[in-house]
């Protein structure tokens, strides 16, 4: 079963974004949420240049919902 969880810590979101487990599910969910590779690359640039803005951006494109098995 999959559970929904709200990410309220930007560092937790960043660690989940780069974890292999999350990347696999993020790719699977990207088709449903219409997140393109361009947006993922933009998010990566935001992490490097503006870490403070990353949390708001990733919550916007993912609606703060992450899926876990």
| Residues sharing a CB contact under 8 Å with residue 67, sequence separation 6 or more, in sequence order | 2, 3, 4, 25, 29
The count of domains in the chain is 1
Q: What is the pLDDT of residue 50?
A: 63
Bridging pattern class, strands 3-6 and 65-68: antiparallel
Residuewise pLDDT in 10s, the chain (69 residues): 345 555 556 666 666 666 655 555 555 555 555 455 556 666 666 666 665 565 565 656 555 444 443
Q: What is the pLDDT of residue 69?
A: 34
pTM above 0.85, yes or no: no
Residue 36 structural domain: 3-68
Q: What is the pLDDT of residue 38?
A: 57
């Amino acid at each position: 079963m999959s559970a929904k969880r709200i990410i309220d810590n930007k560092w937790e979101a960043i660690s989940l974004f780069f974890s292999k487990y999350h990347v696999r599910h993020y790719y699977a969910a990207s088709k449903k949420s219409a997140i393109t590779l361009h947006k993922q690359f933009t998010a990566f640039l935001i992490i490097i240049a503006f870490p403070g803005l990353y949390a708001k951006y990733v919550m916007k494109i993912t609606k703060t919902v992450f899926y876990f098995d």
